[in-house]
Each structure stands twice: as C-alpha cells, then as structure tokens.
Amino acid sequence: MASDAQGPEEQPNERHRAEGWRRWSVWILVVLVLASVALPGLLNRDDSTAVDYSDLIDQAADGNINSIVVTNETGAISAEAIDGTTYSSKGPVELPELDLKLFRDRNIDVEFRTESSNPFLSFLPILLPFALIIGLFWWMQRRAQGQMNGIMSIGRSKARTYTTERPETGFDDVAGYTGVKQEITEIVDFLKAPERFAAVGARIPKGVLLVGPPGTGKTLIARAVAGEAGVPFLSVTGSDFMEMFVGVGASRVRDLFQTARKLGRAIIFIDEIDSIGRKRGAGLGGGHDEREQTLNQMLAEMDGFEPTEGIVMMAATNRPDILDPALLRPGRFDRQVVVPLPEFGERSAILKVHVLDKKVDESVDLDTLAKSTPGMSGADLANLVNEAALHAVRSDRESITQADFEAARDRVLIGQRRESVAMTDREKEMTAYHEGGHALIATLFAHADPVHKVTILPTGQALGVTMQLPEERHAYSQDYLEDRLAVLFGGRMAEDTVFGVTSTGAANDLVQGTELAKKMVVEWGMSDRVGPMAWGSNNQVFLGEGLVNGRDYSDETARVIDEEIERILRTQEARARHALVEHRGALDRVAAALLEKETISGDDVAMLVPAPSEAEEDPSSANSPTSSPSLDQSSSD
C-alpha cells in the first residue's frame, strides 16, 4: 500500500525536476558562450619573455636569434633564440628593409603569418539579436503554457495525502473519548480485514460524520483512524472546493474520489463539511448554484461506491442541523458519531497529554484542575496549559506550579486583569456590594453553583467578577434555573438594598436572566400558563427560514409568554431581595472583606455567611448614597 500511495506524489516530483532542468539549461548556455569567447585567448597564452623591438634587433645582430614569426595584422613578433629562449615583442606592422636585410644576413628564418579569426566571434554580432528574439518568444511561450497549466489544474483536488510512511497518529494519541473510539473501531477493522465483513454479508458504513463542538478533536480522531488502519488518509477542508470559477468544486470532487480509488483502501476526510453541505435551495436570495453543484457531485460520487471498495468517507462539523438531508441519509453518511465536550476523567487525561513536553512542578494536581474546568474542550485545555507556562515564565519560575494553572484558568474564564483602570472609592464600594450580593445568594441557595472566587479588581470587561464553578450537569432542573436567576439578580438587589438605587453594573445580568427565563417559558415548558408546549424555533435565520415562516403562535400566546417571562423574573428578583434583607449583616461583612482584600475565595464567603438565626441585623444601618455606573460580569457558566 505504501508504494501505491506514492503514485500521486511522483507527478509533482517529476514536474519539479523538469522545471529544474529548464532553469539550469539557461545558465549552462551562458557558460558555454563565455567559454567559447575566453578559451581561445587562454589557450593561445605562452610563456615567452617580452622585450623591446630594439633589444630584439640587437639580439639578432649578435647572432643569438634562430627564427622569427611576424603577425601581419598586429605586428606581433615571436622570436626563438639559439639557446631555446622565446622572446615576444611588438614591432611595426611593416618591418623596415634594413631590419629584413639584417635577418637575411644572420640567416634568421623569418615567417610572416596571418592569424585566422574566431568564427564564433565573427558571427556573434549577427547571432546575438536573433538569440535574444528567440529567447523572448521562448519565455513568452513558457509563461503562457504555465498559465494554461494553472487554469487546467484548477479543477484538481487540493487534498493532502498522508501515507503510512509519515508519522502515524493512533488511538493512543487521543486522550479520553473511549466511547467514541469504540464506536469507530469497526471502521478500522473493516479497512484492515474487509474479507471478514464480506464473508457474512455485512456492509460497512460508507460515510461517518463526526459531530461535536469546536475544539473537541474531531480531526485528530479521523487521523487516528487512518493511523490505526494503516491506509492512506486524504485530508481536505470544505472551503477547498469553492473557487470563483463555475464548476471547479464539482471537478475537484471528481478528482478527489479518483485519487482515492487509485490508492485502493483509503480514508477521505472532509473537515468543516457544512461549508459545502448546507441545505440546497436555502438562503435569502435563493440557493448557491456553485455550492449546490459541488454537493450534487459529492452525493453522486458517494452513491457510486461499492461496499467492498475499501474507501471510507469521514467528515466533521459542528453544525449538523444545517446539512442537507440527502447527505445524511443511509448509503451516504450512514453513521453520526458524537464527539462531546470531555468529562472529568477525559479532561484529566487530556491535561496529562498536554503537559508531557512541559516542565511541571511535582506538587501540581491535574485532577483538581480537571474538576475546575467543566465545559472546556481539548483545545481549551491545551490553551490553558500554554497560558500556565507563559505565566510561569513571566513569574521567573523554572517550572509550572499550581498557582500558574489557577492564574491561567482565571485568565481564560474571566479575562485579563486591567491594571490601568482606577476606580473611585464610591465605585469600589458599589462594586463590592454588587459582587457580594452575587456571592451571598449563591452561598445561601442550595441549588446554586458554588462560589469559587470573588474580586473587585477590574478584569476583562467587568469592574468586578463573581466566579462560580458549576458541577458537571447534563440536564438542568427548574430549581437550579430559578436559583441561577436569583444569583443573577443578587448584585442588582444588593445595590438597591444598600444604596436605594441601581446602576448599569447589572446590564449583563439582566441580559442573561431574560434569555434564561425566555427559554424556560418557550422551550422548556416550565410555565403553568403556557403549558407543555415548545415555541422555540429551530429555523436558521441565515438560511432564510426564520424570516419567511415567522413565529408559529398567536398574539394572545405572545402576550402570555411575555407575562410569564416577567413573572419568573420578578419572582426571582423578590427572592433575592428577601434573602439580602434577611442576611444584611452577612452582606456587609462580605463587602467589607472585598474592600479590604479586593479578592476573596468561596471558602472565605462561606465563613462570612453564618446560619440564618445569627444573620439577623438591623437593616437601618444601611447607607443610601447615590450610585455610580459600573460594569459586572458573573462568570458562573
């Protein structure tokens, strides 16, 4: 299989070699021309002794010269002495008669020679213009051919081929996701031994769709399948099929599948398939003809597969709801494998993989870090480890400590601290009571997420943050959602209870609370007046469905929904107000601790909130100053 997989790569190598020979041939031609000009002069060089013409005549008069050769065109003279010494001189073009008579009297052999010119140099002035013209036409022809090749090759697939000779990625390199790996193991078994399935008449799924949130490792899992099966792996993204020319996408799909068939058993992996696999005919301005043509060609190619061909198509997306139904039907993408966000054990395994190439202190407890990072994907955890390493470098530490991981987690979840923001005393006090209200309600109510940290230091876009670490949940009860709303209103009600007015710091709390209450009424059936009905729409606005269909309930129902949303919000606001008034003393202590330390932990908050019987204090001690605008972010999800 390895030798077959190298076939598509041999053509580019041969093309590169041909281009290299053409490039070097020009330089070889230049060297030959220079050699033809310079070599004659180098070959005609001699080792004779240069003398003046008068000295040469004196030597001839003394009888020391045996022979003389005179060049007619230049007057150059080459003389050979009796003792074998060679002299060279430059005389007149026509030798005087007296000098000639002297040579005859001394019996010196005199030869007059006419040198033949270099034929190449004679024709060079004539050939040079023709050579330049021919070279210009050759260059224009090559450029036009290159452009034509580029146009003709635009329909070729841009898929990258990974063969068995390249570094392999196996299931051992994918931390966690045991269930996902078990579900796709039979694909690996089919590619390794397809005869086992053919013997009993079993048919392997033609297509496997990996569905999951961004960053969960769908591409890595597909590559691990190729590594485990030991077959070529063709990787391409959905956007690689789309170009400005009509028909290019369909042509690239055909070329991709032809390449896969030449490789024999192989895996075709298309990342972000939703970019070309969206529902046909959808959109505000109608369908996208080029994308739909590409999708139609892909559907046709998948239908052309034989069950025993040994080619499996895999794709990844985080938006399966917008894919065309024809793409998901049996016979194309038969199976959907959900790649969810990692659980606690999987997060711990992922963290251990990412710290292998890092210098981590022995005191670091990755299990504790995994418990405090619910909802994080594999990419988020990789970024968390890198942020911890950067924090260790900034702190001049030689290894990553637990404090670095804590700082990195806060940096990722709630943002970077803004050192440049200087709050007034009034703003600090209002922010302290605001965050204290969130923390107090979260501590008092049984179903609320536990408080991890409270700070009044400007962080991210907020002037203060109450950070909660939710437990790992897969379903939310109505009690939890109601306590969540009460926590959101805790900051606003704390301002109103202590200062008598509210500020803009609760803007984000109101947005989150309204959205949550709306879902409780229209999607989750948590309203007795609306009843067990779900009015939430799954239509995608960017597909044009939501704008065309509109809402599917009457104006009277809409009025009831609005009233129920308002009732839920006001009820939880009243609960938060009552708890804050009843435990006013605890609120003052939490706010005072925040003003003193600026940042306190959830354990500190729990110590400052006594039992209800001990928390009664005179609410008349509250001050009622005017409020100043502030911002707040309650990071509880």
pLDDT one-digit tens code per residue, 326-339: 888 887 888 888 88
CATH code assigned at 106 = 3.30.720.210
Note whether 248 and 293 are within 8 A (CB): no
**For the chain, how big is the Rg over CA atoms in Å?**
43
Whether residues 535 and 628 share a domain: the answer is: yes
Which domain covers residue 584, as residue numbers? 425-635
Starting at the edge strand found earlier in the chain, the sheet holding 233-237 runs 160-162, 233-237, 266-271, 311-317, 207-211, 335-338
Residue that is last in its domain, among 278, 308, 338:
338
pLDDT band of 225, cuts 50, 70, 90: confident
Question: Which DSSP helix (H) or strand (E) runs through 465?
Answer: strand 465-468
320 in any annotated domain: yes
CATH code assigned at 198 = 3.40.50.300
What tens digit of pLDDT does each residue of 296-311 get? Answer: 777 877 776 555 467 7
Alpha-carbon span 392 to 398, nearest angstrom: 7
216 in any annotated domain: yes
Q: Two tokens at 143?
A: 């450029």
Which range among 37-41, 275-279, 347-351, 627-631 has the greatest average pLDDT? 347-351
Number of domains composing the chain: 5
pLDDT band of 245, cuts 50, 70, 90: low
136 in any annotated domain: no
Whether residues 324 and 372 share a domain: the answer is: no
Instruction: Compute the average pLDDT of residues 152-174.
Output: 57
Whether residues 255 and 400 share a domain: the answer is: no
Q: How many helices (H) and strands (E) does the chain have?
A: 23, 15
Determine the residue type at 242: M
pLDDT band of 244, cuts 50, 70, 90: low
Residue 378 in this model has a pLDDT that exceeds 80: yes
CATH code assigned at 630 = 1.20.58.760
pLDDT at residue 3, as a whole number:
37
Alpha-carbon span 366 to 524, nearest angstrom: 36
Whether residues 495 and 613 share a domain: the answer is: yes
DSSP state of 199: H
Q: Which residues are catalytic?
A: 435
pLDDT band of 548, cuts 50, 70, 90: very low
Could you give the percent of the chain with pLDDT greater than 70? 74
pLDDT at residue 482, as a whole number:
93
Whether residues 430 and 527 share a domain: the answer is: yes
pLDDT band of 159, cuts 50, 70, 90: low
Residue 274 in this model has a pLDDT that exceeds 70: yes
Alpha-carbon span 637 to 633, nearest angstrom: 11
pLDDT band of 633, cuts 50, 70, 90: very low
Whether residues 259 and 356 share a domain: the answer is: no
Starting at the edge strand found earlier in the chain, the sheet holding 633-635 runs 599-601, 451-455, 465-468, 633-635
Higher model confidence: residue 553 or residue 447?
447
Q: Are strands 233-237 and 160-162 parallel, antiparallel or unpaired?
A: antiparallel
Residue 192 in this model has a pLDDT that exceeds 70: yes
Bridge partners, 34 (sequence order): none
Bridge partners, 462 (sequence order): 459
Whether residues 16 and 109 share a domain: the answer is: no
Residue 437 in this model has a pLDDT that exceeds 90: yes
Whether residues 590 and 547 share a domain: the answer is: yes
DSSP state of 216: S
Q: Are strands 86-90 and 76-81 parallel, antiparallel or unpaired?
A: antiparallel
pLDDT at residue 237, as a whole number:
79
Bridge partners, 311 (sequence order): 266
Whether residues 491 and 448 share a domain: the answer is: yes
Note whether 459 and 414 are within 8 A (CB): yes
| 3-class secondary structure, 306 | coil
DSSP state of 399: S
165 in any annotated domain: yes
Residue with tokens 């021919």: 134
Residue that is last in its domain, among 115, 135, 150:
115
Higher model confidence: residue 282 or residue 389?
389
135 in any annotated domain: no
pLDDT at residue 33, as a whole number:
64
Residue 13 in this model has a pLDDT that exceeds 90: no
What tens digit of pLDDT does each residue of 247-261 get? Answer: 566 777 777 888 877
226 in any annotated domain: yes
146 in any annotated domain: no
- The phi-psi region of residue 145 (left if phi > 0; otherwise alpha if psi is between -120 and 50; otherwise beta) is alpha
Residue 518 in this model has a pLDDT that exceeds 90: yes
Residue that is last in its domain, among 338, 353, 371:
338
pLDDT band of 174, cuts 50, 70, 90: confident
pLDDT at residue 407, as a whole number:
85
pLDDT band of 469, cuts 50, 70, 90: confident
What tens digit of pLDDT does each residue of 76-124 get? Answer: 888 888 777 787 887 777 778 887 778 777 788 887 777 666 565 566 6
Query: Using CA atoms in the order 338, 342, 346, 347, what is the torsion angle rounded to 10 degrees?
Result: 160
Closest CA to 285 of 550, 546, 543, 540: 543
Alpha-carbon span 163 to 169, nearest angstrom: 11
Whether residues 306 and 454 share a domain: the answer is: no
Whether residues 188 and 288 share a domain: the answer is: yes
pLDDT at residue 609, as a whole number:
84
Whether residues 266 and 298 share a domain: the answer is: yes
140 in any annotated domain: no
What tens digit of pLDDT does each residue of 473-513 get? Answer: 778 899 999 999 999 999 999 999 999 888 888 888 999 99
